């Protein structure tokens, strides 16, 4: 039996897919698997039982990836599972910005009860004349799951799209319509576009990546949309640009004491992924990732360990070692097994940055002494008998 603890509310659809030998628990200490959305885990001290954390969503800036890797805790996210939901809200933000919808609704609400309201409305509508988005230039910073969908949808709506993503993979590039143009620098994108939207992960290296310099390069009266994370934008600089009119409107999904003071902002309460569909997709994917890791040792969509899939276990025992990515780990593991004359049926070794993972199906089961010998190899972070323990 495995125990799963939820740090945030997780969609029932996902929880329904837990197999009978997975039980939800209210005691985090006893949980081998943790499901989380945006809860901040940076100060979290995990219990000894915890083997994995699955983020039902994309952004993992709320999780200390490196520390958890060091503690032998594999962290997963659910790439793409909420991308459509965010794309739709970005389109909504674009249209709200172009057509003065919110001030017009507010203006009308204040006139509630006036007998000649229909006439007042007709006479007053001229103050809310907007522009079409068709034919306007949209800059998309970050062309991953969300950015690609936004770019494609904007092209379909007749916008001229410029995309900037220096780390885009070949597979990623295939997802983007040929009609989107390639911006070779952030500056070029900023100079060209009437609307700019950012879709990159927040890391410890990029807070304030949209700052004074980038804003200075933008067109007068640009609209900036931020459905990624507030810290990607230097919001002090954004506030000054809004005051001067350099930026006409800041559409952000992140309320904070500063963004709430901007009169020229549309602020939503982190609603990008808050659709029934996205919550279901993320939860189902996160639950499947956790179950496959706990049951089979397979790693899919990890953000701090390499992916590794050996299907269902074969042989007498499957064992897993999370370890440092240093020379001679495989040699040392094989030599412990060779000494006991244990044959390896199947084996995978993968690395990612400073960490690596070795998964083995063995023809015979390990003794307690063999396990101790594997655990004692310098650089081994965690040994686990996935089956046959």
Ligand X SMILES: NC(=O)c1ccc[n+]([C@@H]2O[C@H](COP(=O)([O-])OP(=O)(O)OC[C@H]3O[C@@H](n4cnc5c(N)ncnc54)[C@H](O)[C@@H]3O)[C@@H](O)[C@H]2O)c1
* Closest listed residue to residue 88, CA positions, set 229, 301, 254, 277: 277
Residues 155, 183, 190, 273: which binds ligand X (CB under 6 A)? 273
Q: Does 227 bind ligand X (CB under 6 A)?
A: yes
How far, in Å, CA of 200 to CA of 166, rounded?
11
CA angle 266, 270, 275 (to 5 degrees): 110
Among 17, 25, 28, 38, binds ligand 3PG (CB under 6 A): 38
Cα–Cα distance for residue pair 240/149, rounded to 1 Å:
31
Residues 6 or more apart whose Cβ sits within 8 Å of residue 93: 197, 225, 227, 251, 266, 268
| Closer CB to ligand 3PG, 57 or 139, in the complex | 57
144 binds, among ligand 3PG, ligand X, none (CB under 5 to 8 A by kind): ligand X
In the complex with ligand 3PG, the residue whose CB is nearer, 17 or 274, is 274
228 binds, among ligand 3PG, ligand X, none (CB under 5 to 8 A by kind): ligand X
| Residue 199 found at the interface with ligand 3PG (CB under 6 A) | no
In whole angstroms, the minimum distance from the beta carbon of 193 to ligand X comes to: 14
211 binds, among ligand X, ligand 3PG, none (CB under 5 to 8 A by kind): none
Single out the residue of 33, 57, 72, 239 in contact with ligand 3PG (rule: CB under 6 A).
Answer: 57
d(CA 224, CA 228): 12
Virtual torsion, Cα 182, 185, 189, 192, nearest 10 deg: -90
Please name every residue paired with 55 in a beta bridge, in sequence order, or none if there are none: 36
d(CA 295, CA 258): 46
**From 3, 6, 7, 37, residue interacting with ligand 3PG (rule: CB under 6 A):** 37
Residues in CB range of 338: below 8 A, 6 or more apart: none
Residue of 4, 31, 52, 58 interacting with ligand 3PG (CB under 6 A): 58
Query: Which residues in 322-341 contact ligand X (CB under 6 A)?
Result: none
Question: What is the number of H-type helices and E-type strands within the chain?
Answer: 13, 16
Between helix 83-99 and helix 145-156 the angle, nearest 10°, is 50
Site for ligand 3PG contains 59 (CB under 6 A): yes
Comparing CB distances to ligand 3PG, the nearer of 184 and 203 is: 203
Return the residue of 3, 7, 219, 229 that touches ligand X, per CB under 6 A: 229
- 199 touches which of ligand 3PG, ligand X, none (CB within 5 to 8 A by kind)? ligand X
Question: CB of 239: closest distance to ligand X in angstroms?
Answer: 21
Residue from 63, 210, 242, 273 in contact with ligand 3PG (CB under 6 A): 273
Q: Pick one of ligand 3PG, ligand X, none as the site partner of residue 79 (Cβ within 5 to 8 A by kind).
A: ligand X
Q: Which residue has the tokens 């249209």?
A: 95
Identify which of residues 175 and 270 has a Cβ nearer to ligand 3PG in the complex.
270
Residue at shortest CB range from ligand X: 144
Tokens of 112: 């509630």
Is 140 a binding residue for ligand X by CB under 6 A? The answer is no
Count of residues binding ligand 3PG (CB under 6 A)? 10
Contact with ligand 3PG (CB under 6 A) among 274, 275, 349, 364: 274
Q: What torsion, rounded to 10 degrees, do the Cα atoms 372, 376, 382, 387 define?
A: -30
Question: Contact between 79 and ligand 3PG (CB under 6 A)?
Answer: no
Instruction: Give yes or no for a contact between 291 and 285, defined as CB atoms under 8 angstroms apart.
Output: no
Spatial CB neighbours of 322, under 8 Å, sequence gap ≥ 6: 69, 72, 74, 305, 355, 356, 357, 380, 381, 382, 384
Q: Can you give the binding site for ligand 3PG, defined by CB under 6 A?
A: 37-38, 57-59, 82, 270, 272-274
Q: Can you give the binding site for ligand X, defined by CB under 6 A?
A: 57-59, 79, 82-83, 86, 141-147, 164-168, 172, 199-202, 206, 209, 227-229, 253, 270, 272-273
């Amino acid at each position: 039996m495995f125990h799963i603890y939820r740090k945030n509310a997780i969609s029932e659809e996902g929880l329904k897919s837990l197999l009978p030998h997975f039980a939800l628990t209210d005691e985090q200490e006893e949980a081998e698997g943790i499901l989380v959305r945006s809860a901040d885990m940076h100060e979290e001290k995990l219990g000894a039982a915890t083997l994995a954390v699955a983020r039902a969503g994309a952004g993992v800036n709320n999780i200390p990836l490196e520390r958890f890797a060091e503690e032998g805790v594999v962290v997963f996210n659910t790439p793409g599972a909420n991308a459509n939901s965010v794309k739709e809200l970005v389109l909504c933000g674009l249209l709200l910005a172009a057509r003065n919808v919110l001030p017009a609704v507010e203006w009308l609400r204040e006139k509630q009860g006036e007998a000649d309201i229909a006439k007042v409305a007709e006479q007053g509508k001229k103050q809310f004349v907007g522009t079409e988005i068709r034919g306007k230039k949209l800059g998309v910073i970050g062309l991953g799951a969300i950015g690609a969908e936004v770019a494609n949808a904007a092209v379909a709506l007749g916008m001229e799209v410029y995309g900037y993503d220096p780390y885009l993979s070949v597979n990623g590039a295939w997802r983007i319509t040929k009609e989107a143009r390639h911006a070779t620098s952030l500056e070029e994108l900023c100079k060209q576009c009437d609307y700019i939207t950012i879709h990159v992960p927040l890391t410890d290296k990029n807070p304030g990546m949209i700052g004074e310099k980038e804003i200075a390069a933008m067109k007068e009266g640009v609209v900036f949309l931020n459905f990624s994370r507030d810290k990607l934008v230097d919001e002090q600089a954004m506030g000054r640009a809004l005051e001067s009119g350099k930026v006409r409107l800041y559409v952000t999904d992140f309320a904070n004491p500063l963004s709430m003071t901007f009169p020229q902002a549309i602020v939503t309460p982190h609603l990008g992924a808050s659709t029934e569909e996205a919550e279901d997709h993320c939860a189902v994917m996160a639950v499947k990732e956790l179950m496959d890791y706990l049951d089979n040792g397979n790693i899919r969509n990890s953000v701090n360990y390499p992916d590794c899939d050996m299907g269902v276990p074969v042989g007498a025992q499957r064992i897993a070692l999370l370890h440092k990515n240093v020379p001679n780990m495989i040699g040392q593991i094989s030599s412990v097994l060779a000494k006991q004359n244990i044959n390896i049926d199947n084996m995978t070794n993968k690395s990612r940055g400073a960490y690596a993972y070795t998964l083995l199906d063995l023809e015979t089961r390990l003794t307690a002494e063999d396990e101790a010998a594997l655990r004692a190899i310098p650089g081994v972070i965690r040994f686990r008998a996935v089956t046959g323990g």
